[in-house]
Structure 1
């Protein structure tokens, strides 16, 4: 990743995320432009902190919604937007938290390495290592290493330190069901890792692919209820690119998953985003009844055609650069100053920022979408709908005419929506979502 100097008005941000030469013609050009005076610049970002380190988050949120974040500071700003740190903490307090979390991640990673030595080795796998009943799959004398350039390579076990997996390769059956389930997911993580953002130069390096695999493997072990699900690699990938330290990237991903882990809770009877799809249907029925009726007649009343949009937060509908721009606008709009304390582990020793808890939060420190929910009472009466649902509704509204006149079946609906990939305007989509949100609240209040 190349960071350039602050450029002229309208500088494209694509150059910060280099595309592999052979993929340039296949990748849509980003619509996100770095605009001095609108985009949150490094200078404006650093000026928002007091001498002690307190951050005026309200001022930052408005700037982000106006023009996004300059790529050179995107990672550190995201840490605040995702609730990793409290704006009312000091530089020293945040550094203490950062070091503590890095140590915690290192402990979890070591725990996983003891169960499977590829974790933390700079390598990753994309072949199964165990059967459903706990029997190791590999030949006792080798481990399979996935190499993106050379395919599968046999690696002698002598190259690795002794660990519990070595014993399993010597035909010792694994009996712990949780360990079996985790080991079963590792090759799927590997398969997804080598398919994630492969147009980027960044992922030509195996060390970056292994970072992504390690974080997802550790998260899958820690999240006992959800584990790993396809799509998580799309959510985690930007964190690896934006934050140099693997532990910091993990914690950013972990905070994002606290918002989205429900998307990956799937059973034989339901999918994780089923409730959101149902809400999208209700919103469309209120705001565009003609389109809703048409979709129902085509057999799409369950809105499963919007599954991918909500599952991975529009990563596939926008170019890489534009999806980051969209995410930060969404998070800025939804920002709640209590976010840090909602996520913070209760066992951590309190800091001086503790004094901010329990007080009535300033509406000025909230995102625009959050403020609207507070004003209308939606925040108090029930869990407010995430802005992503209104973003999906905005996309459908934008394509309403085309869907009504050209869609004669669900295949047509899917094709029309897939044709949008890479051609959507993130700022326009966010503006449309905000307008639909206001309109929906107004109509819902009347009924």
Structure 2
């Protein structure tokens, strides 16, 4: 039918000749010699230099008017290729459309079994493909929204996260204006900040008092108005006497809607579970441990780290300190809880403040388990969590200050590896012990977003930007300067600045030029 599109089975060949590469698509019909087609529907025939070989591509179909064989097939040289249009993932069959330099668009090639990316990969052996700058930019926007904007908590407790389908609309409301500067050099797209607006003034309040906490609890011990309590904690933290109880809620050990009786029952069950796990490693004899290299290695690492964790804090100072013994025992028991991960250097830094606040071995362990659920990927062998966060931080910093990002890149510091320690153990070695208690409880509210720690990184870097750039710091100087910030950062100032950045980003308008 001349008026309707038809789905026609076909085979694509990529033919390499002496001076050019040809892309040839033909319908799979009686006129085509099918003897060379292996596993039809699973592979396509790749012909390079006259030698037939099988490439893991999928048989696909061309959508074209079925009014003659001449219109069903096409052939072109890669030198005539102008662009390739590819549909978005998840939007039906994957397809490609080849556009030639004379503005001719060839029929769409539909890959019913997927894997159109493999064809792109094959073509990239012969031509350099550059993503459309607009598409690249929108992709970067979506990355930002995924880890910042889509997790913003609105004041209305009934508000829900936007589903992915609404993200495009959300961009128009939440992301600061950026300008796309297309350079002539292929492979580069520059995103330049236009106007984020002025950072608002932010103030902090006094820590939540025991009286305020008690007023928001009913007669059975349920927490009332959880969002309001979290907002108070975000703006001022907690008085120290409240931390032992409130941290259990913030970390998810205690459900917010639980009663006192339910929490007491939970603690009894968790106490039994903890000591059963503790007995597992306690009952291993020396002879058994000699044949268990992993447990032996975990114990060795834990003993080394415990002996150098927060030893200036009175809770851990001195020899044969009970606090050190508890640190050791909790970390060894965690190896039984999660033997695949076991113990990795840095985990003692996360446990130390928890044990200090809880003053209880069992409660500290289960709070640590909850915290490690958040931090697990940071300590996995592939360190995927760290890689992801560094990429996200780089994307966010470029959004906020592309000029500073460009400077860091010019000094081989664009990967922000100097922030590695900040992210790995959530600033534990950057602030004083008391300040880290305040910082962590603020972050655990997950306000204004789940990844508030990335905004804290940006706030610190923004505070140090002028000195780094004015003094023309290179790679070594930047690393040295950032390391020397340890114990010199004002926690209240940085919390205000990070909150101001989040408000600045939410309040700005978006225009794509």
The equivalent position to 1:209 in structure 2, one of 324, 328, 333, is 324
Range that drifts further, 223-232 or 241-250: 223-232
In 2, Cα distance between the equivalents of 1:261 and 1:407? 37
- Structure 2 CA distance, aligned partners of 1:245 and 1:79? 12
429-438 or 231-240: which moved more?
429-438
1:276 corresponds in structure 2 to: 389
CA positional deviation for 1:441: 5.8
Corresponding residue to 1:103 among 259, 268, 272 = 272
* Contact preservation (8 Å) 2:223, 2:257: yes
* Contact 1:309 1:317 (8 Å CA) reproduced: yes
**What is the aligned partner in structure 1 of residue 468 from structure 2?**
403
Q: Deviations over 1:300-327 (max 9, x none)?
A: 1211100000111111111110011011
- Unpaired runs of 5+ residues, structure 2, are 1-203
Distance of 1:209 and 1:282 partners within structure 2: 40
* Alignment CA distance shift 1:425-1:37 (3 Å): closer
Asked if 2 retains the 8 angstrom alpha-carbon contact of 1:330 and 1:430, the reply is no
1:114 is displaced (CA, Å) by: 1.5
Alignment of 1:254-265 (within 5 A): 254-265=369-380
Match of 2:293 in 1: 180
Partner of residue 217, structure 2: 49
Distance 2:207 2:468 in 1: 34
Q: Does 1:200 align with 2:313?
A: yes
How far did 1:168 drift?
Answer: 4.1
For residues 218 and 334 of structure 2, the distance between their equivalents in structure 1, rounded to whole angstroms, comes to 35
The SS at the match of 2:297 is helix
Q: 1:393 aligns with which of 449, 458, 461?
A: 458
Partner in structure 2 of residue 77 of structure 1: 246
Does 2:408 match 1:295?
Answer: yes
- Partner residue, 1:156: none
Q: CA deviation at 1:60?
A: 2.0
Q: Deviations over 1:85-142 (max 9, x none)?
A: 1121111011101110011001000011122xxxxxxxxxxxxxxxxxxxxxxxxxxx
Q: Distance in 2 between matches of 1:439 and 1:213?
A: 44
Structure with greater strand share of residues? 2
What aligned pairs does 1:1-400 form with structure 2 within 5 A after superposition? 38-56=206-224, 57-115=226-284, 164-165=285-286, 167-168=287-288, 174=291, 179-204=292-317, 206-267=321-382, 272-332=385-445, 334=446, 368-370=447-449, 386-400=451-465
Provide the C-alpha distance between the structure 2 equivalents of 1:408 and 1:62, rounded to a whole number of angstroms. Answer: 39
Q: Deviations over 1:145-203 (max 9, x none)?
A: xxxxxxxxxxxxxxxxxxx32x347xxx61xxxx4212212111111111111111111
Deviation at 1:206, TM superposition (A): 2.0
Residues 330, 365 of structure 2: 8 Å contact kept:
yes
The question of whether the paired residues in 1 share the 8 Å contact of 2:278 and 2:336 is answered with no
1:328-347 per-position Cα deviation (integer Å, ceiling 9, x unaligned) = 11112x0xxxxxxxxxxxxx
1:37 deviates by 7.5
Aligned partners of 1:316, 1:82: CA distance in 2, in Å? 21
Whole-Å Cα distance in 2 between the matches of residues 244 and 304 of structure 1?
35
Distance 2:406 2:481 in 1: 18
Query: Offset of 1:387 from its aligned partner?
Result: 1.1
Match of residue 103 from structure 2: none
Equivalence for 1:427: 492
Deviation track 1:341-374 (CA, whole Å, cap 9, x = no partner) reads xxxxxxxxxxxxxxxxxxxxxxxxxxx414xxxx
The worse-fitting range, judged by mean Cα deviation, of 40-49 and 242-251 is: 40-49
CA shift, 1:424, in A, is: 1.5
Deviation string 1:7-54 (CA, Å, 9 cap, x unpaired) is xxxxxxxxxxxxxxxxxxxxxxxxxxxxx9821112222222110111
Rounded Cα–Cα distance in structure 2 between residues aligned with 1:290 and 1:102: 53
- Higher mean C-alpha deviation, range 44-53 or range 58-67: 58-67
Task: State the partner residue of 1:7.
Answer: none
Q: For 2:414 and 2:404, how far apart are their aligned partners in 1? A: 11
Greater relative contact order structure (CA < 8 Å, 6+ sep): 1
- The two structures have a TM-score, normalised by structure 1, of 0.65
Matches of 1:199 and 1:429, distance apart in 2: 25
1 or 2, which has the higher helix percentage? 1
- Distance (Å, rounded) in 2 between the aligned partners of 1:225 and 1:443: 45
Paired positions, count:
306
Residues 53 and 299 of structure 1, relative CA distance in 2, 3 Å threshold: same
Cα 1:91/1:395, change in 2 over 3 Å: same
- C-alpha change, 1:271 and 1:300, in structure 2 (3 Å) is farther
